[in-house]
Amino acid sequence: GAVVSQHPSWVICKSGTSVKIECRSLDFQATTMFWYRQFPKQSLMLMATSNEGSKATYEQGVEKDKFLINHASLTLSTLTVTSAHPEDSSFYICSARIPGRTSYEQYFGPGTRLTVT
Amino acid sequence: AQTVTQSQPEMSVQEAETVTLSCTYDTSESDYYLFWYKQPPSRQMILVIRQEAYKQQNATENRFSVNFQKAAKSFSLKISDSQLGDAAMYFCAYPETSGSRLTFGEGTQLTVNP
């Protein structure tokens, strides 16, 4: 149980275009999902917390107009990187937690490698 | 704010041997959880083990166990009978109950030598 999927696993886009990454909870409903960015050999950096039916909460320093997050259903959250630039190239990971579970562990998707050319 | 510190950027162990990864944290809360996550070369984050602070007994999951010292705010992970598949980046993590965000340590890269 507690499986999270991400799509695509790998994407290349041209500078100036937008790309959408999907995150789905497959066997549970997730009222809260999280989006992380990870550089090689580094820890995960939280970008934003996504709540179903409401606006996402962004971490300090993350441009909300550039990284659009939509949590339209209890099983789907999307991250859209708008007007992508080469510096946006990174590994993006989503996660979700099971509502009501007081241990607050998160279950992670397999990640999406974004390359902007 | 809570902090999590892993002071060992890299560790290595011989196959079948035992290795311990260190983690310290800081919190003002009295009841909380702590986690160890594993990130193998595939980069899929996998929950290895969880510990609840009010439980005095250290958590165990097969070859993985923790040494939880609440007063010292220490939470180390012991891997017994190390296998090649244990090679990964290991992250210690603390969930903030207020917003349920996870605070991660810097990670420890574990190499398992055959």
CA–CA separation, B64 and B19 (whole Å) = 10
A60 vs B: CB within 8 A: no
Residue B63 has pLDDT above 90, yes or no: yes
In chain B, which residues have their Cβ closer than 8 Å to the Cβ of A111?
43-44
What pLDDT, on the 0 to 100 scale, is given for residue B48? 97
Section B56-62 average pLDDT: 94
Q: What is the pLDDT of residues B73-107, one digit of tens each?
A: 999 999 999 999 999 999 999 988 766 689 999 99
Average pLDDT, chain A: 94
Residue of B3, B35, B100 best to disrupt the A interface, most CBs of A under 10 A: B100
User: Which residues are CB-neighbours of B71 under 8 A, at least 6 positions away?
Assistant: none
Q: What is the pLDDT of residue B99?
A: 61
Name the nearest CA neighbour of B43 among A98, A108, A105, A79. A108
How do residues A80-102 score in pLDDT, each as one tens digit? 999 999 999 999 999 998 887 77
**Mean pLDDT estimate for chain B:** 94
Indicate the residue type of A35: W
Q: What pLDDT is stored for residue B1 in this prediction?
A: 67
pLDDT of amino acid A98? 86
Q: Which pLDDT score, from 0 to 100, does residue A104 have? A: 84
Query: Does A34 touch chain B if contact means CB atoms closer than 8 Å?
Result: yes
What residues of chain A lie within 8 A of the CB of B37, using their CB? 108
Mutate to test the interface with B, among A34, A38, A43 (most CBs of B within 10 A): A43
pLDDT of residue B96: 83
Q: Taking residues A10-31, what's their average pLDDT?
A: 95
> How far is residue A40's CA from residue B19's CA, in Å, rounded to a whole number?
24
